[in-house]
Amino acid sequence: MDQQHVHIHADVRLDCKGLACPMPIVRTRKAIADMDGGQVLEVLATDKGSLADLKAWSSRAGHQYLGTLTVDEVYRHYIRKQSTAEAAHPGGSPIPVVSNAELQARRLADPEMVIIDVREEAEFAFGHVRGAISIPLGQLEDRLGELDRERELMLLCRTGTRSEMACRLLVDKGFKRVHNVVPGMSEWDGDTDALTEGQGGLKA
């Protein structure tokens, strides 16, 4: 795949081209501190060491390293800032839960099953369940018209937290047949597709 023509949405772009370690990390730390939780940062770097450094730093800092594209010898790193809202468990009635294994079994019986991935566009680009539809959580309420209220809907994210929030939103809007897929992409071992073949974990 031609990575030069792959477009991945990022909320903030940080230019670290020409800088050597540790400056890309120093600037990334400062930039991400000013961002809102859940936003995606794109870091442009030319230092090869940034591949390992930014991935390791993201893990230590509690953020989500999505992956890296290489275009014209420039590394385009994508990091999602952890959202404090995701740590809070929403109240309300229990949402039906479907395991990863159960989802795979149901897909065999119903290949047309509707699977909605509520992660950010950048997360989806680096790897998603084959056939899933991308509707980021922040866009879900505005895109309800795209969903069939009569169909069974399987919602997933990285760990099941955002998808539970999405399920609750749909229930509040009158959807009856919604299920939260847990643990989601963090442990998904079934078929996946990606919009890019860049470096990084497809299950991020």
pLDDT at 91: 56
pLDDT at 170 over 50: yes
pLDDT tens across 62-84, in order? 899 999 999 989 999 999 998 87
- The predicted pLDDT at position 86 comes to 60
Q: In the prediction, which pLDDT does 197 show?
A: 58
Q: What is the mean pLDDT of the chain?
A: 89
> Is the pLDDT at 2 greater than 90, yes or no?
no
**Which class in CATH covers the domain with range 3-82?**
alpha beta
Whether 160 contacts 181, CB under 8 Å = yes
pLDDT band at residue 201 using 50, 70 and 90 as cut-offs: very low
Helices (H), 82-143: 84-87, 100-109, 121-125
Higher pLDDT, 5 or 158: 158
Q: Distance between CA 16 and CA 28 in Å, rounded?
A: 9
H helix count then E strand count, the chain: 6, 11
- 21 labelled catalytic: yes
Which CATH architecture does the domain made up of 85-193 adopt? 3-Layer(aba) Sandwich (3.40)
Question: Domain segments of the chain: what residues?
Answer: 3-82, 85-193
pLDDT (0 to 100) of residue 92: 62
Question: How far, in whole angstroms, is CA 62 from its chain's centroid?
Answer: 15
Nearest to 137 by CA among 60, 68, 80, 53: 80
Query: Is the pLDDT at 137 greater than 50, yes or no?
Result: yes
Q: What is the pLDDT of residue 37?
A: 92
pTM of whole model > 0.85?
A: no
Residue tagged active-site, from 16, 21, 157, 167: 21
- CA–CA separation, 137 and 158 (whole Å): 12
Q: What is the mean pLDDT of residues 164-193?
A: 94
Six token digits for residue 200: 């990084």
DSSP 193: E
164-175 CB burial, b ≥16 within 10 A, e <16: bbbbbbbeeeeb
